[in-house]
């Protein structure tokens, strides 16, 4: 049985009696110990769907349909207190900017130890020993001294290592990392992703990696789900999406980032136009205003999700070579 099952999940924004659908019946699964990447531009719904798994949606946002099952438990049926207990113990989240998650007036040690004491019931001294081990696991030298320091003593990359230590503290079943490296420079990004995926593998923890950069996740995730305009437009094994994208949006994402396996003299080609505005009514395929392959049917009929992609004219090897 998969660890996480998200099934037909829809999320809407309710504002002054007006409903705007932001996530449209998405489904995905994550196996124990697996890394799944959810990729898309801002506004695609990727972060909202993950916040709903954590039970952290803002009050004006509501799940309007679907199920979220974690290890056989229906998370949407839990009270907010029950969900609070699951967070940290069963589920953890790593955010883009650790400074907003860490308390600036408490030492790093007290913040890691709090999670261990609360979720695992360790004594103060056992929690301290475990916190030192965790800091060492995330590659922090002189961990005992670091424990007594405050967040502002750490660089951006080091703070993200602390966040990973906190996320792992209670041995959760699942970690959701939302753009965990976007605020970091490129060399540090690779180190942090490498570290996070390795530690999750070693701990048997499943990882959902949310990002806008398909190029970055290709080597860290086993499977990828691509979202556009609140829908899943493509899903499959990372290696397949990277080499043989079926949806034009996935192809566009890949063409807009540098790749080691392509001619470096070729210019990058960003996707034309702007991401779909959820407040604007777009009939048919939501990607059609930006799609180089759009045909009349694309403007009229919403494509079904079939054989890994939601497109009337999914790409294949031949059409890619000809394009
Ligand atoms: Fe492009 Fe049409 Fe496919 Fe949408 S359905 S991605 S517009 S080809």
> What are the DSSP calls for 114-140, one per residue?
HHHHHHH---HHHHHHHHHHHHHHTT-
Pair (137, 22) in one structural domain = no
User: Could you say which DSSP state residue 212 is in?
Assistant: S
Q: Which of 313, 318, 214 is nearest to 256 (CA)?
A: 214
Query: Is residue 64 in a domain?
Result: yes
Residues 57-67 have a mean pLDDT of 96
User: Which residue would you say has higher pLDDT here, 317 or 149?
Assistant: 149
Mean pLDDT, rounded, for 24-40: 95
Per-residue pLDDT at 319: 45
The last residue of a domain, from among 90, 121, 153: 153
Atom of ligand 1 nearest to the CA of 303: 5
Shared domain for 204 and 86, answered yes or no, is yes
Q: Residue 25 sits in which domain range?
A: 4-102+170-322
Lowest-pLDDT range of 13-22, 217-226, 265-274, 300-309: 265-274
Q: What is the CATH number of the domain that holds 287?
A: 3.40.50.300
* 20 and 90 belong to one structural domain: yes
Spacing, Cα 316 to ligand 1 middle (Å): 13
Q: How far is CA 292 from the centre of its chain?
A: 27
265 pLDDT higher than 80: no
**Length reported for the chain:** 323
Q: Residue 291 Cα, ligand 1 centroid: separation in angstroms?
A: 6
> Residue 69: phi, psi to the nearest 5?
-110, 125
Q: What share of the chain is helix, strand, coil (3-state, %, to 5)?
A: 40, 25, 40
Q: Is 257 helix (H, G, I), strand (E, B) or coil?
A: coil
Q: Are residues 130 and 201 in the same domain?
A: no
Q: According to the model, what pLDDT value does residue 10 have?
A: 98
Residue 291 CB coordination number (10 Å): 21
Give SS3 for 290: helix
Pocket of ligand 1 (CB under 6 A): 247-248, 285, 287-288, 291, 293-294, 298, 303, 311-313
In whole angstroms, what is the distance from residue 85 CA to residue 83 CA? 5
Q: Where does a domain end: 92, 122, 153?
A: 153
Confidence class for position 260, pLDDT limits 50, 70, 90: low
Q: Answer whether 28's CB lies under 8 Å from 15's CB.
A: no
Choosing from 251, 286, 295 the residue with most ligand 1 atoms within 8 A of its CB, the one to mutate for a pocket test is 295
**Do 253 and 219 sit in the same domain of this protein?**
yes
Q: Which range in 41-50, 84-93, 227-236, 258-267 is most confidently predicted, on average pLDDT?
A: 227-236
Q: Mark whether 175 and 27 lie in a shared domain.
A: yes
CA of 262 to the centre of ligand 1 (A): 25
Mutate to test the pocket of ligand 1, among 228, 248, 286, 316 (most ligand atoms within 8 A of CB): 248
Based on the fold, state whether residues 14 and 73 are members of the same structural domain: yes
- 79 lies in a domain? yes
- Over residues 239-254, the mean pLDDT reads 93
* Section 88-104 average pLDDT: 87
Q: Do 116 and 130 touch, CB atoms closer than 8 A?
A: yes
Query: Which tokens sit at 315?
Result: 């790409």
**How many structural domains is the chain composed of?**
2
Q: Which of 55, 160, 167 is nearest to 99 (CA)?
A: 160
**30 CA distance to ligand 1 middle (Å):** 27
Give yes or no for a contact between 165 and 138, defined as CB atoms under 8 angstroms apart.
yes
* C-alpha of residue 75 to centroid of ligand 1, in Å: 34
Q: For 203-241, how does the pLDDT look when each residue is reduced to its tens digit (9 = 90+)?
A: 999 999 999 888 778 789 999 999 999 999 999 999 999
Distance between CA atoms of 323 and 251, rounded to whole angstroms?
11
Residue 321 has pLDDT above 80, yes or no: no
For residue 165, tell me if it sits in a domain: no
The tens digit of pLDDT for each residue in 111-161 reads 999 999 999 999 999 999 999 999 999 999 999 999 999 999 999 889 999
Decide if pLDDT at 322 tops 60: no
**Alpha carbon distance 293, 286 (integer Å):** 13
Query: Are 190 and 256 in a shared domain?
Result: yes
**Which residue from 282, 291, 296 has its CB within 8 A of the most atoms of ligand 1, so it is best to mutate?**
291
- Calculate how far, in angstroms, residue 242's C-alpha sits from the geometric centre of ligand 1: 19
Q: Look at residue 163 and tell me if it is in a domain.
A: no
Question: What pLDDT score does 320 carry?
Answer: 44
Do 209 and 294 share a domain, yes or no? Answer: yes
- Report pLDDT digits (tens) over 182-196: 878 878 888 889 999
Residues 206 and 85 in one domain: yes
Asked if the model's pLDDT at residue 52 lies above 90, the reply is: yes
Same domain, 277 and 205: yes
> Are residues 139 and 229 both part of a single domain?
no
Asked if residues 226 and 247 have their Cβ atoms less than 8 Å apart, the reply is: yes
Q: Kindly state the percentage of the chain with pLDDT values over 70.
A: 95
């Amino acid at each position: 049985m998969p660890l996480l099952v998200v099934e037909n999940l829809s999320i809407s924004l309710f504002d002054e009696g007006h409903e705007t659908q932001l996530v449209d019946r998405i489904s995905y699964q994550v196996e124990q110990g697996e890394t799944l990447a959810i990729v898309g531009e801002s506004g695609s719904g990727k972060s909202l769907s993950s916040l709903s798994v954590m039970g952290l949606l803002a009050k004006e946002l509501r799940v309007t349909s679907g199920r979220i099952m974690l290890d056989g438990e229906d998370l949407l049926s839990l009270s907010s207190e029950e969900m609070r207990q699951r967070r940290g113990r069963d589920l953890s989240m790593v955010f883009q900017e650790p400074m907003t998650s860490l308390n600036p007036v408490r030492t790093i040690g007290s913040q890691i130890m709090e999670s261990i004491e609360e979720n695992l019931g360790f004594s103060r001294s056992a929690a301290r020993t475990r916190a030192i081990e965790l800091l060492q696991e995330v590659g922090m030298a002189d961990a005992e001294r670091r424990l007594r320091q405050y967040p502002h003593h750490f660089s951006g990359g080091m703070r993200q290592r602390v966040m990973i230590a906190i996320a792992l503290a209670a041995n959760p079943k699942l970690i959701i990392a939302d753009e965990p490296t976007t605020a970091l420079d490129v060399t540090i990004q690779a180190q942090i992703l490498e570290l996070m995926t390795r530690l999750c593998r070693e701990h048997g923890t499943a990882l959902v990696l949310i990002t806008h950069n398909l190029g970055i996740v290709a080597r860290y995730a086993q499977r990828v789900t691509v979202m556009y305009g609140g829908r899943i437009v493509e899903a499959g094994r990372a290696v397949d999406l990277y080499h043989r994208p079926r949806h034009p949006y996935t192809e566009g994402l890949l063409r807009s980032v540098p790749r080691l396996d392509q001619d470096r003299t070729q210019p990058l080609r960003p996707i034309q136009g702007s991401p779909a505005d959820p407040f604007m009514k777009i009939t048919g395929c939501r990607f059609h205003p930006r799609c180089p392959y759009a045909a009349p049917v694309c403007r009229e009929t919403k494509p079904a999700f079939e054989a890994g992609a939601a497109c009337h004219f999914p790409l294949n090897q031949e059409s890619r070579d000809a394009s």
